[in-house]
Structure 1
Amino acid sequence: MSRPNPIYMAGFLLLVVAIYGAAALLKGGLYVGNYEGDTAHLVDLVLRLAAGERPHQDFMTPLGILGYAPIALFVRLGAGVGHAIMLGQVLVALCLVPAIWWAGVSRLSGAWPYLFGFFALVLVLALSQGQVSSATSIAMYYNRWAWAAAYVAVLVAVTEPRHRRSALADGLSIGMLMAFLALSKLTYFISFAVPLLLALALRRQWAVIGIAAGAGAGVAALVTLVAGVAFWGGYLGDLITVASSGVRPYPTAPFLETLRLPTHIGGTLLMFLSVILLRQAGQRYEGLILLVLAPAFFYVTFQNFGNDPQWTVLAGFLVLLMRPGEEVKNPFGWDLRQALNMAAVAFFAIGSPAAFNMIYSPVVHFGAADADYTPFLPNRPDHADLKGELERSYQFKVSSAPEYPAVAAQARALRPVAEKTVLNGEVLNWCEIGNGPVGWYRSMAQELDAAGYGGEDRIMVADILNVLWMFGDLKPLKGSGPWYYGGAPGLENTDYVLVPFCPYKTSERRRILKAIEARGVPLTEVYRSELFILLRRGAIQG
């Protein structure tokens, strides 16, 4: 097949960035129709970083700084957070263009470099997390960014150049992309580091390994120079806290169960079939590397909420590159080149639902009706360009477990028994909020303001999300984070603890209150309403 024209390839990639970036920005704001909690999590991190707070020191998060710094940069420059999110994605895409270009012009032929480059950029620029919902969402965007970087790093590391050779370009591409993974979503770095190192070693690419290691070390040195040595200790500490936390042992389902889910079993079996076919075709290196990559693909998918199998499209490209160059038959008489062609097509088919969801997501976003959306942060006019769907933002939907004494005895016996939340001897009812987070947080913030609390008061929310400060005249709690992973982070800087009657997660409300009690900290009630109890924090023991 024909080798790609490098100028055409570069122009095509820049055109994709321009079209997708413009399609998103022309709407005039970011219209979010799903996963409002994840949106609040992102905005919290972005606003804190833009305000000068230090990640892993002033606030807690397992997400690496490069996972949200591109967005915070534009907020710092004066953009509303809605536009900043979209501009941040464009910036990340532009930074990835050189590596995507090199992977395409050195390894792929015909139309394949353009298809590979297009999808890698779509992963960055999409306005949907994939999965099965077509609603516009910025949730888990950092997983998309990480997959895009992983696509390029894997392709360059495990396949031989076909058209152009440069150890320097290979090493810089792999080193910089792996550094990005380490500083955005460490799970990807851990999962792919060994397979890529093994692939390079088996191909005796010692110069590439050295250059990649040097590039990664250079990035680490630059981060240390800018953020200080304490950054690394804080980052490691946050990661250890999350890894050892019992709050969420796995995002969706256990590892082995994830592999056999109806949405995953086809890809799982196809991966092992492809390894067998490659080995039968005499592609021993290729079969080994695909086998080694399989656990990395599976683990990253398991670790990400929603378990989107984004690896299947990459596997399709790899199988096409790894197939034998001519007809080879196995003991069953199969033409193994054609069999691997079919395997690649099957991989693309499995990945197509999420892929097409992301590809046309800017069209869905542009078609959002203004009347159906409302500012996500209603008290922050400078960020009015971030909008949430009106009904999802304000229409309360809750789950509760009331007691019905008259219900049948068998039903009472089978009723789930949850551990009670006890606050100063009072048992709080089980209740969890679904829709309506903007109205819920805004209502609590307004109530606090009317009762005379706010301003410099530091308030901890006993819930899985601690983002109340963004919806009122409040300050972020130093030492805490937008998402709860265990303990009572920020307790030493807290003035008050707010205990909602209907939190997002009743289990996490209970965990936080137990952690406070375990540290011997008294809580004195100072205010109560239909929504929450506010308690003043006493002296911390020890």
Structure 2
Amino acid sequence: MMVCLTIVSKKGTNPILRQAQMTKSKTAALTAFLFAVLAAMGGASVLKGGLYIGKHEGDTLHLMQIVFRMADGQTPHLDFMTPIGALAFWPIAMLVKSGFGIGMAVIWSQVFAALIFLPVVVWLAWSRLTPWLGALFGLFVMVLLLALVHGEAQRSVSISMHYNRLAWAAAFVAIVAALIPPTNQDGRGRSSIDGIIIGAMICVMLMIKMTYFVSFAVPIVVALLMTGQRRALLYAVLTGVAVAGTITVFAGFEYWISYAQDLLAVAGSEVRSAPGEPLTAVMGAPAYLGGSIAAIVGVIFLRQAQVAAGGLVLLLLIPGFFYVTYQNFGNDPQWLLLLAVLLLALRDQAADVVNGWGWNLRDGIMVVAAVALALTAPSFFNLAYSPYRHFNIDVSEYAPILPRGGVHTDLQSLDLRVNRVDARIALDGNVAGLPAYPDRDEPLVFMGETLPICTVELGLPMVMAAMVRDLEDAGLADGKSLFAADVFSSHWLFGALEPMDQGAPWYYGGLPGIEDADYLLVPLCPVDQKIQHQILGAIKERGDAISVTEIRRTELYILYQLG
């Protein structure tokens, strides 16, 4: 194949940029277009008056825990364990602290983020892209910031993994700024602004999800060097140092140590080190192979068309594209949107060359970009019109996730998913005529109690609320904290309990926070029975270091006193 792609004809080898600098009128038109997108998507979300999700209640409880703890003055990594950076939740927490309900705080935080990104996107489009490509790039960034679903093609509204969309938007901006050099150079002023933007976007990635920083920092630096933007690189480094220094002044050096410890703990965890398909599948499974081939062909075409910097940097970006997708739940390759923008921008640097197959490489690059857009279209359109689906839902079918949450009842889910409780239980071996399946995991025995084989499928908020009400009625809740033998210890959201110091809003391994807990709560029908087995196994291994005494038993849980 490489032989066939050998260049045999050159109609023009001068790799000049064909992008024309935007006129003031076109820049104003672009600004108006992007503001219209922001107003339409953000307005549809805000005017609903609340956030109504259709799935991922557990993830939503995880978000609530972190937001409420931060609004109460706690710091991620220092006061509780999470691998997600503080910036993913800080805007929401500040709005909650100022009096917003959490549902509207989520929505307004996205609108404010889009308002901050808008002038940055216009600046990059004005300095680097043609008007139409600038509009396409800006549309992609605005949609990522303002959507009400994480991606894929499933239409249900979900705020789960909202931080992935924000990190992708920052990555799009930083990579375009680094790889596509400005077409209207005007000296130091331009370089300083470009560098500050790139440095700020890298910091956004670092402070949201380390995966993005690790995957894209090196290609961004290489891109800046290869495109001659050394002064911009200097300003980017200075911006990063300034941001890191400011955080250190306020949070202390211990913040970075704790952040690293949380990341290492999750990386080594058997529970959540990778939340979806294996890496090989993300690269080569049927759903992803087309995008992988498009990226590789794009690199080949760029190199053959004498776009040396673009081809090399895109090649360096591809492993990061795969790794970030592998690390994100749903494994949605949203990098295909960026691939299309980069190919269309770099096409204007390409020599007018025909390869051994008789293909004009500039046309070939455009075809690959079109393929990338076609492959990602279902996910993109799902993102783009999610606020309008949200706006048109019938709120009578929804119920608050926190029924006693006061102003925070503006975050709701389908009544079916909140109040109807369904579970998956084992029938074989328990019902006449159904012999026991020989390879089923053995039931767990803890403190002499054989726990049933059962997992909650639906109605998690109702189950937690019922447990907390029972604890309150028994006089066991006020000011107490509990460690739940399950993936979530979210019970304190539903009543008079307190969160554990150093606890983990999402269980990743070990026994984080158990030293601060008053109780161990063992749900008889947990969300994840394997995690329950892991937690109780870890408690058994600690032996006499953790003393447990049963103090209450219901049909939903067994409660043990710790210490």
Q: TM-score, normalised by structure 1?
A: 0.96
In structure 2, the partner of 1:173 is 197
Written as runs of structure 1 = structure 2, the 5 A alignment for 1:469-484 is 469-484=492-507
Q: Which moved more, 1:186-195 or 1:323-332?
A: 323-332
* Unmatched runs of 5 consecutive residues or more in structure 2: 1-18
In structure 2, the partner of 1:340 is 365
In structure 2, relative to structure 1, the CA distance for the partners of 1:408 and 1:195 (3 Å cut) is farther
Fraction of identical pairs, as percent = 40
Written as runs of structure 1 = structure 2, the 5 A alignment for 1:49-68 is 49-68=70-89
Distance (whole Å) between structure 1 residues aligned to residue 332 and residue 425 of structure 2: 30
Written as runs of structure 1 = structure 2, the 5 A alignment for 1:15-164 is 15-164=36-185
Q: Deviations over 1:328-366 (max 9, x none)?
A: 100111111111111100101111111000110111000
In structure 2, the partner of 1:439 is 462
State the Cα distance separating 1:325 from its structure 2 match: 4.4
* Unmatched runs of 5 consecutive residues or more in structure 1: none
SS at match of 2:41: helix
SS at match of 2:352: coil
Distance (whole Å) between structure 1 residues aligned to residue 503 and residue 231 of structure 2: 43
Written as runs of structure 1 = structure 2, the 5 A alignment for 1:397-408 is 397-404=422-429
Distance (whole Å) between structure 1 residues aligned to residue 35 and residue 184 of structure 2: 22
State the Cα distance separating 1:407 from its structure 2 match: 8.0
Distance (whole Å) between structure 2 residues aligned to residue 310 and residue 416 of structure 1: 39
Contact 1:494 1:537 in 2 (8 A): yes
Letter in 2 for 1:382: V
Q: Deviations over 1:192-229 (max 9, x none)?
A: 01111111122232211111010011111111122222
Distance (whole Å) between structure 2 residues aligned to residue 15 and residue 532 of structure 1: 51
Q: Which moved more, 1:523-532 or 1:280-289?
A: 280-289
SS at match of 2:49: coil
In structure 2, the partner of 1:466 is 489
State the Cα distance separating 1:12 from its structure 2 match: 3.3
Letter in 1 for 2:410: D
Distance (whole Å) between structure 2 residues aligned to residue 488 and residue 361 of structure 1: 38
In structure 2, the partner of 1:499 is 522
Letter in 1 for 2:394: A
Distance (whole Å) between structure 1 residues aligned to residue 183 and residue 356 of structure 2: 30
Q: Deviations over 1:121-150 (max 9, x none)?
A: 110111111112111110110000000000
Contact 2:133 2:345 in 1 (8 A): no
Contact 1:421 1:509 in 2 (8 A): no
Q: Which moved more, 1:364-373 or 1:437-446?
A: 437-446
State the Cα distance separating 1:6 from its structure 2 match: 3.2
State the Cα distance separating 1:284 from its structure 2 match: 2.4
Q: Deviations over 1:230-260 (max 9, x none)?
A: 2112111111111111112321121112212
State the Cα distance separating 1:8 from its structure 2 match: 3.3
Tell me whether 1:3 sits opposite 2:3 in the alignment: no
Written as runs of structure 1 = structure 2, the 5 A alignment for 1:5-404 is 5-164=26-185, 166-323=190-347, 324-325=349-350, 327-404=352-429
Letter in 1 for 2:171: A
State the Cα distance separating 1:405 from its structure 2 match: 6.9
Distance (whole Å) between structure 1 residues aligned to residue 430 and residue 208 of structure 2: 51
State the Cα distance separating 1:326 from its structure 2 match: 5.3
SS at match of 2:412: strand
In structure 2, relative to structure 1, the CA distance for the partners of 1:419 and 1:204 (3 Å cut) is farther
SS at match of 1:328: strand
Written as runs of structure 1 = structure 2, the 5 A alignment for 1:417-456 is 417-456=440-479
Distance (whole Å) between structure 1 residues aligned to residue 261 and residue 138 of structure 2: 36
Contact 1:460 1:477 in 2 (8 A): yes
Distance (whole Å) between structure 2 residues aligned to residue 230 and residue 282 of structure 1: 48
In structure 2, relative to structure 1, the CA distance for the partners of 1:225 and 1:406 (3 Å cut) is closer
Distance (whole Å) between structure 1 residues aligned to residue 269 and residue 63 of structure 2: 21
Contact 1:466 1:482 in 2 (8 A): yes
Letter in 2 for 1:218: A
State the Cα distance separating 1:177 from its structure 2 match: 0.3
In structure 2, the partner of 1:516 is 539
Distance (whole Å) between structure 2 residues aligned to residue 529 and residue 98 of structure 1: 57
SS at match of 2:275: coil
Contact 1:102 1:169 in 2 (8 A): no
Q: Number of aligned pairs?
A: 536
Contact 2:306 2:351 in 1 (8 A): no
Letter in 1 for 2:21: R
SS at match of 1:183: helix
In structure 2, the partner of 1:531 is 556
Contact 2:279 2:326 in 1 (8 A): yes
In structure 2, relative to structure 1, the CA distance for the partners of 1:106 and 1:45 (3 Å cut) is same
Superposed CA RMSD in Å reads 1.7
Q: Deviations over 1:172-191 (max 9, x none)?
A: 11100000110111100000
Distance (whole Å) between structure 2 residues aligned to residue 197 and residue 34 of structure 1: 39
Contact 2:265 2:508 in 1 (8 A): yes
SS at match of 1:434: strand
In structure 2, the partner of 1:416 is 439
Letter in 2 for 1:96: F
In structure 2, relative to structure 1, the CA distance for the partners of 1:494 and 1:307 (3 Å cut) is same
Tell me whether 1:488 sits opposite 2:511 in the alignment: yes
State the Cα distance separating 1:397 from its structure 2 match: 2.2
Letter in 2 for 1:232: W
In structure 1, the partner of 2:8 is none
State the Cα distance separating 1:406 from its structure 2 match: 7.8
